Structure 1
Amino acid sequence: MSLLITSSYVNLLQARNPKPSSFTYQIPSRFASVSSFNRNSKTKAVSSSLMTVKRSLIDTDGEVLVSKMEPAVVLVHRPPALDFIDEPLSRHRINALYTHTSPDSLQDFLTTHAASVRAVVSLGKLPITAEFMSNLPSLGIVVCASVGFDHVDLDECRRRRIVVTNAGDAYGEDVADLAVGLLLSVLRRIPPVDRYVRSGRWTRLWDYPVGLKLDRKKVGIVGLGNIGSLVAKRLEPFGCIISYNSRSPKPGVPYVYYPDILSLAADNDLLILCCSLTDETRHIVNRRVMETLGTNGVIINVGRGGLIDEKEMVKCLVKGVIWGVGLDVFDNEPEVPQELFNLENVVLSPHSAGMTAESLTNVSEVTVANLKAFFSDQPLMFTVQLD
């Protein structure tokens, strides 16, 4: 049986049973507070510690009533490997269809199920375009199991009044962890010395690569939202001197604010990119910024690939204009500039900063909670502001 039943049928059931049973859905406490959430991002969280989702679909004998109408369905649009969402959807008896399992073309698949699809769960950055959504006349919500939503046509969602949600801060701690991991890996040359030992070249000559220390380094964070703040918190015990650049100064923040990235680079050893990609931030790290950062400068990117001018970055790395980079994101994923593969001052990660067993459980909980809330006309978590 599907939880996703049209509102007209709910009204019919309520007429038959004026005092229906109900159940509550407890929002996990880690998602209940907005204290650690980036209030200046395009998303917002529900501040209530409890979301009550009423199910007025039970008759007087306590039996679930199944609609005789075609049930509403959730369309899961994901790459085959990202299957972590499947079990929670099945366990919560959500009627889900999967685009990647159909032998039909995507167009034929959407046409076949057009009338019944009311929600799309999006994973893996597969585009949710205006053309994609035009095949789904009953679509009411796009639930992104990611923090980013740049793969969704927000203008079309605004025009059609389609709600969009994202994963909020479900990945934040994990992304911050990897940012620091990449930073240490680049500074201390961890991948090269690992390869050095594995190659059998370790001799008494001690001719392995030598890195730089993190202790008391000056770190500039670009984008002091939820993830940027978590990165700063992790770097404080290293004695790092932290400053930042954002759209505007953050009230109550103990770090020095710089109004532009060039001045931030001029006064720091390391740059960590945590901001979103917009027209204003595309290629915000250009050759001039890298030259200003200097020969001992390190850039870590856990934001979006387009924040860095990759062609100029490659040139700067080859010529020693900067010390190195740690990249979890790239401008044209999954394509990566081939020149990076042979450079010892580069550490690469396949856009996996948020991918841990724990974070995937968190995201699954948020996804299911938002689907239940949407179909029960309850408040949503982490809705994207379309206005």
Structure 2
Amino acid sequence: MPTNASAQSRPAHPPISGDAILQVGPVNPAVAQSLSRKFGALELPDAGPAREALLEARGAQIRVAVCSGRVGVDTELMLRLPRLEAIINFGVGYDATDIELARERGIAVSNTPDVLTNCVADTALGLYLNTLRSLPAAERFVRDGSWTSGQNFRLTKRASGTRVGILGLGRIGQAIAVRLQAFGCEIHYHNRSEKQGAGYTYHSSAVSLAAATDVLMIAAAGGPHSAGLVDREVIEAVGPQGFIINIARGSVIDETALLEALRSGAVAGAGLDVFANEPHLPPGLLELENVVLLPHVGSGTIETRRDMAALTLENLRSYLTDRTLLTPIF
């Protein structure tokens, strides 16, 4: 029988070695380099025989998965990892991971909030200005020689003093609101619950929010609870003089209904940084002049990606040390 001293000398948690850590999908280069060189982690191959072989040989020993918000740990993969304890997520979004199954199994999940809030809000403001003022189209107008030929560029929508409805008043939604207030905008919002002390006009539904404002700014978190939240009814409520900006997740909006509305003039225009099937866009979207398209660059700055990488690795180190996460989702 061990003495008290020998019992106390044992580590409080069984150590996790590199071959029990799995990189799932492509991640930030700095994170990938650290996983390989400093932690000795395994890398899950793409679908095919090599992936199947790794899961057959090593799946039962994997205890920590590191992934990006775009890839995540889905239901199928989670079931192949019976000893999984933690999912370390690079990104604020985690809708690609089966969160409910993780919760049921007691798997800890982290993300990288706060460090990307300002850059995503900056992108939202840029997309807002570019969409309402048609700045990308105006630049093309100069480049293709239309201006020098004597033509005048069409008039656009004033960006200051508008009524903006923010769908999802979380960290990013609030940062967007602050920026838009500097433009003299009137801020309305819809959330799953009213935020006491927010100081903005609350609406009990997305439809009511869309009908009451000039611009619908989508900043809701992704996942099953928000999938299709901006449906055909909400899009119709935006109206032919209104605009839609989406910097949240492509899954939040009915892309088919949006495409039809943009084509028919049921909405004036849209600015989109995210899509349901990235990097593939809905057929026909590229042909439209009343939409501004970005390649999911909301947090895409050198500084923010550096901070996200650092927080991802800090979460991993913390979990390996004492089984805690610095920024747990639950």
Normalising by structure 2, we get a TM-score of 0.88
Closer/same/farther in 2, CA of residues 282 and 153 from structure 1, 3 Å limit: closer
**Cα RMSD over matched residues?**
2.8
Residue type at the aligned position of 2:208: S
Residue type at the aligned position of 2:179: R
Q: Secondary structure of 2:314's partner?
A: helix
**Cα displacement (A) at 1:291:** 2.9
Closer/same/farther in 2, CA of residues 312 and 369 from structure 1, 3 Å limit: same
- Which residue is 1:85 aligned to? 31
Closer/same/farther in 2, CA of residues 287 and 107 from structure 1, 3 Å limit: same
Given the alignment of the two structures, is residue 132 of structure 1 paired with residue 56 of structure 2, yes or no? no
Is contact 2:64-2:85 (8 Å) kept?
yes
1:376 corresponds, among 298, 318, 321, to 321
Given the alignment of the two structures, is residue 182 of structure 1 paired with residue 127 of structure 2, yes or no? yes
Q: Distance in 1 between matches of 2:222 and 2:36?
A: 34
Is contact 2:94-2:222 (8 Å) kept?
no
Structure 1 unmatched ranges of 5 or more: 1-10, 17-53, 57-66
Q: Secondary structure of 2:124's partner?
A: helix
Residue type at the aligned position of 1:98: E
1:268-314 residue CA offsets vs partner (Å, 9 max, x unmatched): 10110011245553333233333332222110011121222211211
**Cα displacement (A) at 1:97:** 2.0
Bigger radius of gyration: 1
1:139-170 residue CA offsets vs partner (Å, 9 max, x unmatched): 21111111121211223323332111111222
**Cα displacement (A) at 1:14:** 7.2
Is contact 2:165-2:189 (8 Å) kept?
yes
**Cα displacement (A) at 1:214:** 0.8
Q: Secondary structure of 1:179's partner?
A: helix
Alignment of 1:53-64 (within 5 A): none
- Which residue is 2:174 aligned to? 229
Q: Secondary structure of 1:87's partner?
A: helix
- Which residue is 1:158 aligned to? 103
% identical aligned pairs: 35
**Cα displacement (A) at 1:223:** 0.5
Q: Distance in 1 between matches of 2:32 and 2:8?
A: 31
Closer/same/farther in 2, CA of residues 128 and 280 from structure 1, 3 Å limit: closer
User: How many correspondences in the alignment?
Assistant: 325
Given the alignment of the two structures, is residue 264 of structure 1 paired with residue 199 of structure 2, yes or no? no
Given the alignment of the two structures, is residue 329 of structure 1 paired with residue 274 of structure 2, yes or no? yes
Is contact 1:283-1:306 (8 Å) kept?
yes
**Cα displacement (A) at 1:220:** 0.6
Q: Distance in 1 between matches of 2:48 and 2:249?
A: 33
Closer/same/farther in 2, CA of residues 245 and 95 from structure 1, 3 Å limit: same
Residue type at the aligned position of 2:309: S
1:145 corresponds, among 84, 90, 96, to 90
Q: Secondary structure of 1:164's partner?
A: strand
**Cα displacement (A) at 1:72:** 4.9
1:97 corresponds, among 42, 60, 66, to 42
**Cα displacement (A) at 1:13:** 11
2:56 corresponds, among 111, 116, 124, to 111
Is contact 2:72-2:94 (8 Å) kept?
no
Structure 2 unmatched ranges of 5 or more: none
Residue type at the aligned position of 2:23: V
Residue type at the aligned position of 2:326: M
Q: Distance in 1 between matches of 2:86 and 2:24?
A: 13
Normalising by structure 1, we get a TM-score of 0.76
- Which residue is 2:23 aligned to? 76
Q: Distance in 2 between matches of 1:383 and 1:83?
A: 23
Q: Distance in 1 between matches of 2:252 and 2:60?
A: 39
Given the alignment of the two structures, is residue 217 of structure 1 paired with residue 162 of structure 2, yes or no? yes
Q: Secondary structure of 1:180's partner?
A: helix
**Cα displacement (A) at 1:102:** 11
Residue type at the aligned position of 1:87: Q
Q: Distance in 1 between matches of 2:186 and 2:93?
A: 29
- Using the TM superposition, name which of 217-226 and 155-164 deviates more: 155-164
Q: Distance in 2 between matches of 1:102 and 1:290?
A: 37
Q: Distance in 2 between matches of 1:340 and 1:141?
A: 39
Is contact 1:219-1:241 (8 Å) kept?
yes
Closer/same/farther in 2, CA of residues 214 and 383 from structure 1, 3 Å limit: same
Closer/same/farther in 2, CA of residues 332 and 296 from structure 1, 3 Å limit: same
Q: Distance in 2 between matches of 1:348 and 1:277?
A: 19
Q: Secondary structure of 2:284's partner?
A: helix
Alignment of 1:33-48 (within 5 A): none
**Quick check: which one's helix share is greater?**
2
1:356 corresponds, among 301, 309, 312, to 301
